[in-house]
Structure 1
Amino acid sequence: MRNKFNHRGHREEIRKMVCISFRFLCVRCGKYLLFSLLAALLIAPTLASNQNRQPTPREKRIRYDIKLALNFDERTYSGFEQVHWVNRGDHATSTIFFHLYPNMRAPDYIAPNQKNELGQVTSDEPRLEVSEVHAVSTNALIPFSFDDLQTTLRVNLREAVQPDAAVDIQIKFKGSVPEIDPEETGIVTHVLQQVSAAIRSERELRRARDTNFMCRGVMMLATSFPILAARSGDDWLRKIEPSIGDSLTTDAADFDVTIESAPGVMIFTPVVAAELTHKEKTDSRHFTAETVRDFAIIAGRNLKSEEHRIGDITVRSLFRADHEVIAQRVLNIAGDALRIYAAKFGPLPLKTVTITEVPLVSTLGSAEFAGLGAIASAFYVDFDSPTMRNMPDVIRDQRASVEDSLEWTVARVVAHQWWGATVGNDAGREPVLDESLSNWSALLYYREMHGEQQTTNALEEQLRGVYKVYRTFGGDDMEASRSSREYRNSFQYAAIVSTKGALMFEALRQLLGDEKFFAALRDYYSANSLEVADMDDLRGAFIAGAPVEQRRAVSRTFDRWLSSKRGDEDIGPPDPKLAEELGLPPRTETKGDKTMLTPFAKLGKFFWQQMTKIR
């Protein structure tokens, strides 16, 4: 096998493929489709009224009081939550909806029938079950039911809640998470997944197990409890649709969370524990957080943390002991990114921002939550460590690509605390509002940290290059304004949503100049902080901030980058030189064939034959 990898021609082909894979491996995407855009004269007054919005007083905020008992070794948990829900709509309602995200399944999902030594069916997906719902005021049982394949909990109140009034209910629940095979989380598997996306046009869908699992001694609970569905006026955003993007859409709320676990199990959340109590058989940690959209939990026995103070915010890096060198670099990058974004966009309503390594599966490079960003452990690669000697040459040769991708990813993940966590948007419908804007923010980080030359390189490699490689492999240009479910896989999503969307913001910056561009972005951030924004809000902010004579050009810029197929003109067409170097034949496609091999198949077949031998 060693001789095969050292064969000059074959080895060079593999090197090129792996290098290209790393260029878009971390440019992950997530969330939503563009709404219809209003005319500038209709949006500007809305923006002005939003800017005068006052912070919501505490008694008018949604609140979760959660008590969770975690059985780390059994991968199970149980608990109660008391939910204070405020009706912010215009009409009374007697129905409240919660999402049970761990129960999300792909349409073609088939449950396994394998059993463990105890005769229990081994599940490969997480599960969240609700057994009781009570009214806090009377302790009376409240009827409930499940919709949408048990992903939605419908609570039928006995009395309607009037506008601006509130109700308190208690929910009893329990859950479990699967154990993920470590083979699914390694760097070679991550690279193979990306190459597979290039070779075939097979559909990828996010699974609940992607962010609710146990692997390599680390447990991740992204959504361990029933969480209120977001609302727009009187309308509940009820439906959860599996796609290549994120499905989590929630309103900001206050959290008071107590977690019990066995001694020695470390618990990390978006905030630092306010209190730790040691008992005979359990440790109890108490956490409080204000105005956050979710409450992700990381648990493990071998986790460490380092932190820096940036202004009023504590930045933490969580890691396994053998990744300390890379985790320290991640901490430094995160601190610099937070400082830059706070100066350019405005302050965060958070006291802590945590970046953690997590053994994410190969279809996911990162995952973002309020106050917490998770990056795949596969990218915590210390090229100076002895373990790298066991890696294939094609991986070790890509040191610069891996390190650049990690820096870009950390900067992008931190930016999600502004775009997605603080300014929310409708998950699954409008990815430009958080994913594209966070990706462009990483470019801003490069400009502020490394100067114009490295920014130009990052613009070409992390943005333009992703689109051009995608087109060279035979991918079709698409509108960036489609819903996330319309993109087949992460390769296509990164090329269209992350790249074209991010480049739209760069085009707006060049059109308006830095002063007006950042003023508009700050206005958008301030007006929609802790709200659920839509594309009208973003477009309105830029039109309102532009001189009258440039407003039509701003509108055309939005339309050109998001609603048209002008990528080859604006970014670049398929690269014939790259195609020739990789041996890509002219593309042929049978209409309607969605699983056919692309022109990359010949080279990809050889790549698969070699890489699958490396274990």
Structure 2
Amino acid sequence: MLKKRKYVFAVVVLAILVFSLLAYQNLSVPHKNLYEITASFDPAQKTITAVQKTVYVNTSGRSLKEVIFHIYPNAFRDEKTAPFFPSEFSKAYPSGFSPGGIDIQWVKVGGRSIPFTIEGRDKTILKVDLLKPLKSGRSIAVFMSYTIKIPPSEGRFGHGKYTYNITNWYPIACVYDEKGWHKDAYWILGDPFYSDVGDYRVSIKTPASFIVASTGDIKKEAVRGGYKTWSIVAKNVRDFAMVVSDKFKIASDKVNGITVYSYYFSEDEFGKRALRYGRDALKFFSDYIGPYPYHQFSVVQADFYVGGMEYPNLVMIDKGLYTKSNVFNMEYVIAHETAHQWWYGVVGNDEVNEAWLDEGLTEYSTIMYLEGYYGKSVADNVFSKAIEKPFEEFMASSKDTNTLKPLSQFKGWEDYTNLTYNKGAVMYSHLRKLVGDKVFNQILRKYYNDYKYKNATTQNLIDVATQVYGKDLGGFFQEWLY
């Protein structure tokens, strides 16, 4: 135990020295934020110890006195703020609740410690007070040290019997747009995230027996003294996620020059099925919407009870889907999460206030995938039974059918699912019938190309659709969304 602590301390000190030499403040730089993280993962203690350098670029158009970060792990400190409904707790915490969280040891700029506060209803906001105002168009290097406790949760962030799901784990800069800082809580419903594209350089040290599936390209693996250090680079991504396990098997294939990986711990039959579904979905969406712009894509079986979850270059899939009785559900979920690489990953949006924008388009894109591989009759049958019928039943009994509202205003999963996934997909089906297959495809391709690596809004989508169709579609969207 003493040796481990000394090793971690040495890594942290070295990282501080290296980062300090690279620090700069108020310099003109490209518009993207840069995250450099040196971390050590300890499965025995269920912790991650890290030093992080964030080069934050002020694109706000005004001077800023502070930089604000999300620190999502703190939502898992308390049962009252953990992002699960009470009815889900037995699935989220099958071994019982135990807290997770992130402890910030210090924050520095230019070698000097600076004040910071932790705020928000779930303590997931880190406000860093700058030593002097940061002018628009300039950048600042913010250094911080922290320790993360990984909870025994089988949700996005936590660990189970097979995997450590290390997602939404590090301090990530809040979006600053025309509304100011977006300091949203980690809401129970939906995917409560909104982030800008950035570049990442991550070094993660694990015991040598562990395998890391991650966002980005693994550039180097170095083994020393029973530990392995993974050096990872990810460019033009809006988040960085890892799933770590000492039980992973790996299968891989290539499509359109992209390496597709399947990380799994079930029987080979299902791990290879997952690989095929991921490969097929990646090819379909690349051909139909626009090229996948990264080098790799990973489909990862995980201790994750919610079905599937998307992150850049990586999707987590519920281990329970890797069975004979669930192969169709496995394919559907993998295709859906793969579509998110286009709608959320490359074309971003505010998932807190406009959740329908990526979910509705992703759900209908999944139907298009089924149509592409299995024919229109199969796709229409799935659409009718799984999307259209539940939506119509919901609409017949619901008084509030407004789609454009923040996550805090949805009543529960039925409400959220029908008004973001199902209603969005039904709307796209009607839009496709209205404008025709060719124009519909042109709308999606232009929307993808125009907002690649940007954050889009509902109005941006309406403007693109109107421009491609040649007629005002504002009324069509207005009727469906409100």
Q: TM-score when scaled to structure 2?
A: 0.87
Aligned match of 2:15: none
Q: Given that residues 213 and 298 in structure 2 are in contact (C-alpha distance below 8 angstroms), is that contact kept between their aligned partners in structure 1? A: no
Aligned partner (choices 271, 274, 278) of residue 334 of structure 1 = 278
Equivalent position of 2:74 in the other structure: 103
**CA offsets per residue over residues 181-201 of structure 1, 9 Å max, x none?**
xxxxxxxxxxxxxxxxxxxxx
**Deviation (angstroms), 1:159:** 1.5
Q: Which residue of the partner structure matches residue 239 of structure 1?
A: 184
Match of 1:377 among 314, 319, 326: 319
Letter in 2 for 1:559: Q
Alignment-mate amino acid for residue 271 of structure 1: G
Residues 234, 84 of structure 1: alpha-carbon distance in 2 compared, 3 angstrom cutoff: farther
Cross-structure match for 2:147: 174
Letter in 2 for 1:148: G
Alignment of 1:487-506 (within 5 A): 487-506=410-429
Shift of 1:349: 2.4
Instruction: Identify the match of residue 525 of structure 1 among 444, 448, 463.
Output: 448
Q: Hey, what's the Cα distance between the residues in 1 that align with 2:395 and 2:30?
A: 52
Could you say which residue in structure 1 is the equivalent of 2:389?
A: 465
Matched, 1:249 2:194: yes
What does residue 160 of structure 1 align with?
133
Task: Give secondary structure in 1 for the equivalent of 2:191.
Answer: coil
What is the match of residue 366 of structure 1? 308
- CA–CA distance in structure 2, aligned partners of residues 234 and 500 of structure 1: 27
Structure showing greater relative contact order (alpha-carbon pairs closer than 8 Å, 6 or more residues apart): 1
Contact 1:231 1:251 in 2 (8 A): no
Map 1:216-615 → 2, pairs under 5 A: 216-233=161-178, 235-320=180-265, 322-361=266-305, 364-381=306-323, 383=324, 399=325, 402-468=326-392, 470=394, 478-548=401-471, 551=472, 554-563=473-482
Q: Check the 8 A contact 1:142/1:157 in 2, yes or no.
A: yes
Label 1:360 to 1:345 Cα distance change in 2 as closer, same or farther (>3 A).
Answer: same
Q: Distance in 1 between the 2:189 and 2:452 partners?
A: 26
- Between the aligned partners of 2:254 and 2:279, the Cα distance in structure 1 is 8
- Does the CA-based 8 Å contact 1:244-1:488 persist in structure 2? no
Partner of 1:45: none
CA distance 1:152–1:310, change in 2 (3 Å): same
Provide closer, same or farther for how the CA distance between residues 356 and 469 of structure 1 changes in structure 2, counting only shifts above 3 A: farther
* Sequence identity (%): 21
1:90·1:233 contact (CA, 8 Å) conserved in 2? Answer: no
CA-atom RMSD in angstroms: 2.2
Q: Deviations over 1:257-307 (max 9, x none)?
A: 000111201112123421111111321110001011111111111011211
Q: How many residues are aligned here?
A: 441
Q: Is the 8 A contact 1:241 1:428 kept in 2?
A: no
Over 3 Å counting, the alpha-carbon distance change for 1:107 and 1:523 in structure 2 is: farther
Amino acid at match of 2:60: G
Deviations 1:408-434 (A, max 9, x none): 211111000000111111121111211
Distance in structure 2 (CA, Å) of the matches to 1:341 and 1:262: 37
Q: 1:493, CA displacement in angstroms?
A: 2.1
One-letter amino acid of the counterpart of residue 367, structure 1: M
Choose from 147, 157, 160 the match for 1:215.
160
2:218 match: secondary structure: coil
CA distance in 2, matches of 1:439, 1:560: 20
Please state whether the residue corresponding to 1:453 is helix, strand or coil.
Answer: helix
| Post-superposition offset of 1:557 | 2.4
Shift of 1:470: 4.7
171 and 308 in structure 1: CA distance in 2 versus 1, 3 angstrom threshold: same
CA distance in 1, matches of 2:176, 2:456: 12
* Change over 3 Å in CA distance of 1:461–1:110 after alignment to 2: closer
Partner of 2:101: 127
1:532 aligned partner, one-letter code = N
Kindly state the Cα deviation for residue 451 of structure 1 after the two structures are TM-superposed: 0.9
Q: CA deviation at 1:520?
A: 1.6
**CA–CA separation in structure 2 for the residues paired with 1:546 and 1:560:** 18
SS in 2 for 1:407: helix
2: distance between equivalents of 1:511 and 1:261?
Answer: 54
Question: In the alignment, does 2:35 pair up with 1:64?
Answer: yes
Normalising by the residue count of structure 1, what TM-score does the alignment of the two structures yield?
0.69
Residues 308 and 334, structure 2, Cα contact 8 Å, conserved in 1: no
Distance in 2 of aligned mates of 1:467 and 1:245: 17
Determine the C-alpha separation between the residues in 2 that align with 1:524 and 1:228. 26
Could you say which structure has the higher strand fraction? 2
Distance 1:266 1:527 in 2: 37
Equivalent-residue separation in structure 1 for 2:120 and 2:351 (angstroms):
17
* Structure 1 residue 94, shift from structure 2 partner: 2.1
Over 3 Å counting, the alpha-carbon distance change for 1:407 and 1:417 in structure 2 is same
Q: Separation in 2 of the partners of 1:335 and 1:68?
A: 31
Give 1 or 2 for the bigger CA radius of gyration: 1
> How many angstroms apart in 1 are the aligned matches of 2:214 and 2:363?
24
2:112 alignment partner AA: A
Q: Deviations over 1:427-480 (max 9, x none)?
A: 2111121111000000110111111111111111221133246568x6666222
Q: Deviations over 1:308-353 (max 9, x none)?
A: 2111322111111x33212211211221111111122112221111
* Aligned with residue 90 of structure 1, among 49, 61, 66: 61
Q: Which residue of 1 aligns with 2:25?
A: none
Cα distance in 2 for partners of 1:95, 1:293 equals 21
Separation (CA, whole Å) in 2 of partners of 1:352 and 1:338: 10
Change (3 A) 1:106 1:143: closer
